[in-house]
């Protein structure tokens, strides 16, 4: 029996006790006797569903006494019944779920299902109303009641909190009055709900990567007023605790519980056959694969203001996506905008309202894709084969379901590997997509694309015997691409090492590939004939003792080397946090370390012109020229240039076509140097086309072949620079939409085993 019902029955027994005192004093108690027996009948109806035989027997005895007008022992019997009623009738917890958006119900559903199985609970789902907001004022009210058929609902207008006194309330809206786009009805703000229950539980409607969460989410009203806050992982819990402590006493942080996300439960268990598919959808789908296109609020807001001016860049991107998939008949695009995207545009980006409405209307009427604005996100996830679009909690659901996730980009993705030979330029992007650029045809083709890998796992490329070798950066194996067979092979690393950023570069020497460490404590050598690995680590302690200069970035604390160059059988490696270069002999495995220049200097990139080494300074406006044989050192002062503060080193350096070439990283100019005369020539063509002066960096990888230099950029693809004519050509990789189709061709679901978060959450809250 619910606690509120039991309290009502006890109150009725108290009334009956008072009536029992009155009955013997009345001359004609007929009417009062009937009222008394009616009260008994009410008690009986409530006891019939309970295991309370002794209470029922006492109630029968009371009814007999009243019917026979034997009232002398009546009060004593009522006291016995009250005592037995308290012990026999077990109280059930009343648990109330208060979703506001039906499409966000998946953030609570698995908890509800676990609670519903608990025989000691009565569980209710009560959707609550919410308002749109504009200029911080309420506009339209919504009350969504289109929930799955197996979820019975109750009406919020008929629920009396004071009478029912729910034991536990679950919510998924954290904002109260702090959201500029929507607001739940003020009666259901967390600040008020806290006082209506002993246990208010906030479960976020979103799911993240399990590592990070934006700080402001940690101090929203629900985080402050809820008795318990469910978070995804221990790493995320630490962030919540850190931010909460800034505004509240530290003893309140025990409320944060790392128990997982019910949204992931739903994503993992949902299957296509579980859902009814509208006939119109089914006609479009046929036997095609489905691409889920996700447009989110955060990415829209980020890409609709440029240089403090309104922009429609985001909608232009959406138009291009729709146009691309409109012309590809082997896949169907399922577009599911964020449920509050339209409201957000109206409230925060009004200049986009008409254009967005036109885009939606066109997509719906041209009938080449599926527009899904229903409440059931889980159906869309179950139906779709791949996620494409903005990063959001929806992307995490696809990851949990073992389905590929590819973000839409507004510029080419960063390049993570670059290698140029006589005929081709090979490059790998952050999403592990391998490309080949044909120098003669000036054409780029995607050679390999698969989603079944960690992003950014490899850095740089070397070639030997028509195989491409990749430096394992965030990878526990060496990736090898066979150019003839057009497939990847893997060579496992022998060491079970937990270092995340292992190797940052590599080079070929005879039949060996040498891997240059990033944070790994050794240089590694691969015998390409036998696939055997050998390690060289004798230099480690000596290099560590040299690393005394200021640490530029905390993430670099284990970094061993910056740039390198190859001279005959030697690798010249610029040592991190020292004015030193280590020369590693690839024939003997021996090494020597040379300190170059002022002890407070930090070098970055290095190249060799046949006689002298040239090292760029990390911050300063000069480069160091050094002769290894004579140990003579000089500085070549560069013309004054501006640089981006705290955003990395000044230049990459490359020797090509009898000159030293300086490609800027953080600097805002580029140069070439004549090594015979030290004459400096500015190269404005290498910087002026960037346009955006707020870029995080300009160039990051560089490779030379013949009279050409190839350098990867942040958002312009790869620059092919003719050192004779100083002309630039831009090598672009395929659009992300093309990659989505290639990923579909290689798709393979890999569902990870996960515990039922909903069950864990319920058991923890129930136990409290």
> Which residue has 């993992």 as its token pair?
268
- Give me the CATH code for the 93-205+209-260 domain, please: 3.40.50
Name the DSSP class of 753: P
Angle among Cα 210, 215, 221 to the nearest 5 degrees reads 105
pLDDT of 345 reads 94
CATH architecture assigned to 270-407: 3-Layer(aba) Sandwich (3.40)
Report the range out of 152-156, 309-313, 738-742 with the highest average pLDDT.
152-156
- Tell me if 93-205+209-260 shares its fold with 270-407: yes
Residue owning tokens 């599926």? 370
Residue 412 is predicted with a pLDDT of 78
Domain ranges in the chain are 3-88, 93-205+209-260, 270-407, 413-537, 550-732
Closest CA to 202 of 255, 145, 267, 269: 255
Q: What are phi and psi of 740, to 5 degrees?
A: -60, -40
Q: For 503-524, how does the pLDDT look when each residue is reduced to its tens digit (9 = 90+)?
A: 999 999 999 999 999 999 999 9
CB 653 within 8 A of CB 618: no
pLDDT at residue 59, rounded to an integer: 85
- pLDDT for the residue numbered 335: 97
Q: What homologous superfamily is domain 550-732 in, according to CATH?
A: Kelch-type beta propeller (2.120.10.80)
pLDDT of 134 > 90? The answer is: no
DSSP secondary structure letter of residue 336? E
Name the most confidently modeled range: 70-79, 171-180, 450-459.
171-180
User: For 77-86, 227-236, 689-698, which range has the lowest pLDDT when averaged over its residues?
Assistant: 689-698
State mean pLDDT over 617-625: 93
Higher-pLDDT residue of 72, 192: 192
Where residue 19 falls among pLDDT bands split at 50, 70, 90?
confident
Strands 130-134 and 182-184: antiparallel
Question: Which of the residue ranges 186-190, 201-205, 549-553, 663-667 would you say has the lowest mean pLDDT?
Answer: 549-553
pTM: 0.71
- Spell 483-496 as b/e; 16+ CB within 10 A means b: eeeeebeebebeee
- Closest alpha carbon to 334 in 382, 294, 393: 294
Place domain 413-537 in its CATH homologous superfamily: Kelch-type beta propeller (2.120.10.80)
The tens digit of pLDDT for each residue in 351-394 reads 999 999 999 999 999 999 999 999 888 899 999 999 999 988 88
Q: CB-hemisphere CA count at 13 Å for 309?
A: 3
Asked which of 69-78, 342-351, 700-709 is least confident by mean pLDDT, the reply is 69-78
Distance between terminal CA atoms of the chain? 20
Instruction: With beta carbons less than 8 A apart as the criterion, state whether 52 and 81 touch.
Output: no
Mean pLDDT of the chain: 90
Residue for token pair 């309202």: 353
pLDDT of 451 reads: 62
pLDDT at 740: 80
Q: What pLDDT sits at residue 734?
A: 64
167-200 pLDDT, tens digit per residue, is: 999 999 999 999 989 999 999 999 999 999 999 9
């Amino acid at each position: 029996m619910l606690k509120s019902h039991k309290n009502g029955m006890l109150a009725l027994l108290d009334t009956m006790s008072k009536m029992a005192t009155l009955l013997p004093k009345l001359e004609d108690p007929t009417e009062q006797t009937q009222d008394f027996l009616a009260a008994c009948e009410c008690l009986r109806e409530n006891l019939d569903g309970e295991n309370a035989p002794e209470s029922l027997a006492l109630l029968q005895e009371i009814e007999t006494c009243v019917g026979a007008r034997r009232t002398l022992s009546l009060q004593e019997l009522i006291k016995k019944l009250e005592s037995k009623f308290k012990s026999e009738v077990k109280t059930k917890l009343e648990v109330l779920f208060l979703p506001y958006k039906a499409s966000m119900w998946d953030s609570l559903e698995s908890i509800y299902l676990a609670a519903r199985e608990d025989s000691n609970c009565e569980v209710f789902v009560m959707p609550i109303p919410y308002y749109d907001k504009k200029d911080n004022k309420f506009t339209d009210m919504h009350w969504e009641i289109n929930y799955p058929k197996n979820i019975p609902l109750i009406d919020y207008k008929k629920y009396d909190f004071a009478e029912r006194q729910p034991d536990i309330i679950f919510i998924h809206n954290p904002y109260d009055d702090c959201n500029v786009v929507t607001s739940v009805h003020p009666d259901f703000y967390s600040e008020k709900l806290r006082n209506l229950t002993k246990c208010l539980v906030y479960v976020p409607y979103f799911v993240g990567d399990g590592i990070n969460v934006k700080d402001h989410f940690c101090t929203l009203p629900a985080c402050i007023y809820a008795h318990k806050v469910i978070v995804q992982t221990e790493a995320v819990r630490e962030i919540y605790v850190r931010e909460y402590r800034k505004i509240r006493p530290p003893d309140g942080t025990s409320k944060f519980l790392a128990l997982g996300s019910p949204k992931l439960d739903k994503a993992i268990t949902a299957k296509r056959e579980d859902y009814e598919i509208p006939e119109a959808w089914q006609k479009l789908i046929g036997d095609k694969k489905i691409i889920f296109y996700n447009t989110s609020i955060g990415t829209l807001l980020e890409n609709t203001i440029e240089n403090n001016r309104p922009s429609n860049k985001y909608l232009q991107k959406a138009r291009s996506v729709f146009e691309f998939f409109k012309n590809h008949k082997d896949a169907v695009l399922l577009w599911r905008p964020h449920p509050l995207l339209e409201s957000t545009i109206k409230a925060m980006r009004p200049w986009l309202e008409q254009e967005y409405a036109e885009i939606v209307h066109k997509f719906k009427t041209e009938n080449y894709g599926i527009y899904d604005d229903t409440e059931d996100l889980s159906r869309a996830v179950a139906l779709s084969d791949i996620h494409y679009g903005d990063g959001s909690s929806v992307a995490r659901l696809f990851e949990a379901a073992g389905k590929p996730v590819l973000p839409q980009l507004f510029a080419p993705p960063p390049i993570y590997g670059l290698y140029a030979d006589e005929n081709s330029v090979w490059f790998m992007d952050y999403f592990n997509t391998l490309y080949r650029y044909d120098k003669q045809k000036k054409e780029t083709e995607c050679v390999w694309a698969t989603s079944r890998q960690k992003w950014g796992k490899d850095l740089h490329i070397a070639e030997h015997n028509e195989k491409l070798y990749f430096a394992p950066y965030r990878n526990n194996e060496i990736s090898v691409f066979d150019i003839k067979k057009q497939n990847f092979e893997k060579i496992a690393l022998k060491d079970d090492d937990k270092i995340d950023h292992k190797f940052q570069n590599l080079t070929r020497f005879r039949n060996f590939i040498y891997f240059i460490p990033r944070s790994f404590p050794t240089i590694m050598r691969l015998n390409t004939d036998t696939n055997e690995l050998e390690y060289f680590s004798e230099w480690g302690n000596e290099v560590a003792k040299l690393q005394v200069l200021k640490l530029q970035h905390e993430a670099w604390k284990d970094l061993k080397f910056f740039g390198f160059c190859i001279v005959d059988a030697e690798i010249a490696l610029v040592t991190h946090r020292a004015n030193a270069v280590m020369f590693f002999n690839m024939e003997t495995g021996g090494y020597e370390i040379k300190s170059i220049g002022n002890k407070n200097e930090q070098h970055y990139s290095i190249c060799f012109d046949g006689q002298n080494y040239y090292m760029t300074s990390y911050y300063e406006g000069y480069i160091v020229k050094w002769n290894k044989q004579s140990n003579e050192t000089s500085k070549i002062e560069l013309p004054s240039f501006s640089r981006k503060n705290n955003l990395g080193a000044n230049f990459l350096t490359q020797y090509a076509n009898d000159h030293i070439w300086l490609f800027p990283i953080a600097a805002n100019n580029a140069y070439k140097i004549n090594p015979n005369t030290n004459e400096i020539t500015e190269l404005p063509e290498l910087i002026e086309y960037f346009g955006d002066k707020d870029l995080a960096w300009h160039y990051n990888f560089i490779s030379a072949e013949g009279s050409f230099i190839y350098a990867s950029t942040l958002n312009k693809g790869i620059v092919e620079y003719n050192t004779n004519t100083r002309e630039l050509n831009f090598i672009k990789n395929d659009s992300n939409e093309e990659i989505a189709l290639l990923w579909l061709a290689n798709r393979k679901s890999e569902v990870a085993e996960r515990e039922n978060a909903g069950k864990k959450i319920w058991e923890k809250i129930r136990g409290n």
